[in-house]
Amino acid sequence: QSALTQPPSASGSPGQSVTISCTGTSSDVGDYNYVSWYQQYPGKAPKLIMFEVSKRPSGVPDRFSGSKSGNTASLTVSGLQAEDEADYFCSSYAGNDNVVFGTGTKVTVL
Amino acid sequence: EVQLVESGGGLEQPGRSLRLSCAASGFTFDDYAMHWVRQAPGKGLEWVSGISWNSVYIGYGDSVRGRFTISRDNAKSSLYLQINSLRTEDMALYYCVKDKRQSIVGATFDFWGQGTLVTVSA
């Protein structure tokens, strides 16, 4: 299975919004509403921030939102804050007990 | 508090074997699927393998299928990964990861360990 495609980088000023795309195929993102997003700070383990496309785990600010259209899922961070500067990875269930991650996006707060 | 503590990593030569372990606590281990996810230095995340709560359903990433074997011991709240025929490209930090569900379907990774580093070098 091939990795899901994410832009290598994204940036925005504090208070602005940034949207990260995650493009797969009709066999993964397009076929299942099992897209998750993870936030990772340098040297730390990833943290789940979105699951089943648009559901936020308890404790994740509502500045984070998720959506999906066709084979592309998206994560939007509204009201960007300095603490949002991190790497973000998407993942999708790909059928037949397989899972695929995205290539990762580094978000910079200008 | 959920805790996942990996062990078993280290320096090993290409072609050799390693067995990673993960000790879980703070939740009912046999109620959830578990996974191994790895991250090479400076690179992205790669799903390695997953196992359902009852070990009936198991999946592997393409790059490790046939060389890696995942298993679990619910009585010991432990997850394992047997790595055979090590390759230099297997060098990575290996995370033990808890799923939100009993099965691999959906694959939502809600808790992560701190990882154990596997280094492959002659």
Would you call A105 an interface residue with chain B, using a CB distance cutoff of 8 Å?
Answer: no
Choose from B101, B102, B108 for mutation: most chain A CBs within 10 A: B108
Mean pLDDT of A90-98: 95
Give the tokens for residue A25. 């195929």
Q: Is the minimum CB–CB distance between A56 and chain B shorter than 8 Å?
A: no
Amino acid at residue number B80: Y
**pLDDT tens digits for range A14-68:** 999 999 999 999 999 999 999 999 999 999 999 999 999 999 999 999 999 999 9
Decide if A4 contacts A28 (C-beta within 8 A).
yes
Q: On the CB side of A52, how many CA atoms lie within 13 Å of its CA?
A: 8
In this predicted structure, the answer to whether residue A1 has a pLDDT above a threshold of 90 is: no
3-state secondary structure of B30: helix
Q: Which residues of B touch A45 (CB under 8 A)?
A: 95, 112-115
Substitution target in A34, A99, A101, A105 with the highest count of B β-carbons within 10 Å is A99
Nearest residue to B48 (alpha-carbon basis) of A79, A1, A107: A1
Let me know: does B110 contact B96? Beta carbons within 8 Å.
Answer: no
pLDDT mean values, one per 10 residues, chain B (122 residues) = 97 97 98 98 97 97 97 98 97 98 94 98 92
Q: Which residues of A touch B61 (CB under 8 A)?
A: 1, 98-99
* DSSP one-letter code for A8: S
